[in-house]
Amino acid sequence: MASVYVKRGRWYLRYRDQHGRWRDRASTARTKTAAKRLVGELETRFERARLGLETLPPEDGGGTLGELLTWWLKTYSVGSPSHDRNVATLGKHFSSPGIADLLLVEVTSGKIEAFLQERADNLAPQTLNHLRRFLLTAFNCARRAGRWQGANPVEDVRRRRVPKGKPEFLRLHEVPPVLRAVPSKWRPLFATAIYTGLRKGELLGLRKSDVDFSTGLITVVRSYDHDTTKGGHAESIPIAAELVPYLRAAIAASRSDLVFPAPDGSMLSRHTPLEDVLRRALIHAGFATGYQHVCRKKGCAHKEAAADAELRHCPTHRMKLWPKAQVRQIRFHDLRHTTGSLLLMAGANPAAVQKILRHSDPRITTEVYGHLLPGYLRSEIDRLAFEPKATTPDSTRLQPSAPDAKEFAATVLPANENGSGGGSSEVAVSAPNTRNPSGFLPRGLAGWTGLEPAASGVTGRRYNQLNYHPKPRHDGFPAHRDARIYPPAPRLSNGS
């Protein structure tokens, strides 16, 4: 039974801990009554822990948060493709004195929220979510490993709302000239990125043994020098017919077992400036968005933006201004977005695009690229139709370039049973007409009008009623107009 005693003017508590062992602890009680109250609370708490009704924190506080993050890096992060980035991120944001020095028993959701709010002015919402995810993962791993027995304080910290932007990608007409403008030593790498959608680490870690021309497949096994990918498992994707010459040239020129090695045969660094190569290729291909004319005289900061590269002079020194071509801020990773975007705009099956890009969930594919799907919400917005349909020069302005789109899809998607490319986006050639100038019509579907979704093929009396448009009267309104919708035409007098 718990008891109290006084020693050298200080009250001590004697109780049994959660393991049933007797303990003596000095207290801050000033009276015997206060000491008995404290020992009673301790006895009840440890009894609940022995019965499994309550989890007690470690007596040493569980160590510091910085020690927990270091343990997580050495135990769980090492060996993953993102380990180097994890080390750099945690070292940058948790190395200075602050939250990393707190004992785990002192870490609360309020302190983590304050830590994130202090950095909200300098960090993007996505970066704050990454820091939150690091802490959440570290605590969860510690709980599974028995290193921490308490609750996860990060679960009550809200995630920041990240504005969703549209993915950047090369347009269909930009791909051929940009590939021609890429230096020859980089061209096979960029072509493989566009035709396969592989990530940068997967491209730099691609080995010759991963490419099988006999089956027409590339097996994605690793990222950089890690024997795993972002998805954590190996997957195979088809080799496009137009990609084969690029891959054969790269393999023939390689001096190592890598497909795209450095000049000495080693693996290219993850810091290789491939974005600079891509942006220079855009400039050389003629896709500059504008020019920044700058004065190169030392100490002069004059610059002016213009849409052309015509000669201009500095208003202060009368020196010629140097025109710097500007391009949109496209990344090397956006070549992966190019693959998915052009495939979906070509009418490829979203499920096939998901398999090619190796997304874990089809919803990821549709959420990122859904706005590029042919007929995206067009059938719904076209329900607001108040005037009789008429063919005008502008009515075909939104028609897709079906032949070019079909050719691109056929070179990337696996062949179907008939031996033709395009996967499930099978198309047939029909006679060109005003509604279908390209002559390409999805098989088995009726009423195809370009960006609008094809009709279900339903015909008959109801179909004719829905598609019947009577000739207009002399006043421009249908012969069977409803006076409630179409008001009477005004009478003209005096020749006006």
- The token duo for 297 is 């005289």
Question: Would you state the pLDDT for residue 401?
Answer: 43
Q: Place 441 in a pLDDT band, splitting at 50, 70 and 90.
A: very low
Question: Would you state the pLDDT for residue 47?
Answer: 79
- The token duo for 475 is 């006043």
Question: Would you state the pLDDT for residue 393?
Answer: 54
pLDDT digits (tens, 9 = 90+) for 167-188: 899 999 999 999 999 999 999 9
Pairing of strands 3-7, 10-16: antiparallel
Burial (CB count within 10 angstroms: exposed 0-12, middle 13-18, buried 19+), residue 190: buried
The yes-or-no verdict on residue 370 having pLDDT over 70 is yes
Round to whole Å and give the CA distance between 146 and 143: 5
Round to whole Å and give the CA distance between 168 and 331: 8
Question: Would you state the pLDDT for residue 186?
Answer: 96
pLDDT digits (tens, 9 = 90+) for 284-295: 999 999 999 999
Region 274-299: mean pLDDT is 93
Question: Would you state the pLDDT for residue 391?
Answer: 57
pTM of the predicted structure, to 2 decimals: 0.61
Question: Would you state the pLDDT for residue 378?
Answer: 74
9-23, 145-159, 280-294, 407-421: segment of lowest average pLDDT: 407-421
- The token duo for 242 is 């137009």
Query: 224 versus 388: which is more confidently predicted?
Result: 224
The yes-or-no verdict on residue 442 having pLDDT over 70 is no
pLDDT digits (tens, 9 = 90+) for 152-171: 999 999 999 988 878 899 99
User: How far from the centroid of its chain's Cα atoms is residue 487's Cα?
Assistant: 51
Axis-axis angle for helices 362-369, 334-345 (nearest 10): 90
User: Are the C-beta atoms of residues 206 and 218 closer than 8 Å to each other?
Assistant: yes
Find where tokens 């393999």 sit: 251
The yes-or-no verdict on residue 429 having pLDDT over 50 is no
Interacting residues of 346 by C-beta distance below 8 A, sequence separation 6+? 405, 406, 408, 409, 425
Domain boundaries, the chain: 3-50, 65-156, 292-326
Find where tokens 């070549």 sit: 335
Question: Would you state the pLDDT for residue 409?
Answer: 42
Round to whole Å and give the CA distance between 128 and 116: 6
Query: 425 versus 16: which is more confidently predicted?
Result: 16
**Average of per-residue pLDDT values in the chain:** 78
- The token duo for 14 is 């004697």
The yes-or-no verdict on residue 78 having pLDDT over 80 is yes
Please state which CATH number belongs to domain 65-156.
1.10.150.130
Round to whole Å and give the CA distance between 107 and 154: 9
The yes-or-no verdict on residue 382 having pLDDT over 90 is no
9-18, 63-72, 234-243: segment of lowest average pLDDT: 9-18
Q: Which residue, among 140, 65, 145, 152, has the nearest Cα to 101 in the 3D structure?
A: 65
Which DSSP helix (H) or strand (E) runs through 306? strand 303-306
Percent over 70 (pLDDT), the chain: 75
What's the 3-state SS for 303-329?
A: EEEECCCCCCECCCCCCECEEEEECCC
The yes-or-no verdict on residue 146 having pLDDT over 60 is yes
Q: Place 390 in a pLDDT band, splitting at 50, 70 and 90.
A: low
Question: Would you state the pLDDT for residue 294?
Answer: 94
pLDDT digits (tens, 9 = 90+) for 188-225: 999 999 999 999 999 999 999 999 999 999 999 888 87
Q: Place 406 in a pLDDT band, splitting at 50, 70 and 90.
A: very low
Quick one: DSSP state of residue 154? G
